[in-house]
Amino acid sequence: MLPKEAVTEFAELYLKNFGIQLTQEEAVEKATRVFNFFKTIIRPVEESTKLADEIPGQESEAERKNITYGDKKKSKKS
């Protein structure tokens, strides 16, 4: 369960951005869904970073595949 203050803040932001006043029940449901969504997509990144940091000399998956991002060329090792 999210703290009451977090749900209240979510409801205020929802009203400001969408012009819709949520009931307390709606705010709890929507805020919880948003929280769980972000918790789901952020957790794998944190875990993989933690694992790579704990193993000295361990390359990340991108390093193993020789993948670069941005303006640099993407290539895979065979």
CB 16 within 8 A of CB 36: no
User: Which pTM does this prediction carry?
Assistant: 0.56
* pLDDT reading at 55 higher than 50: yes
What pLDDT, in 10s, does the model give residues 2-53? 999 999 999 999 999 999 999 999 999 999 999 999 998 887 766 666 666 5
Secondary structure letter of residue 74 according to DSSP:
P
How would residue 70 be classed by pLDDT, with cut points 50, 70 and 90?
low
CA-to-CA separations, 14 to 21, 27, 37, 70, in angstroms, rounded: 7, 9, 17, 34
Task: Return the residue matching tokens 């703290």.
Answer: 3
Domain boundaries, the chain: 4-64
How would residue 78 be classed by pLDDT, with cut points 50, 70 and 90?
very low
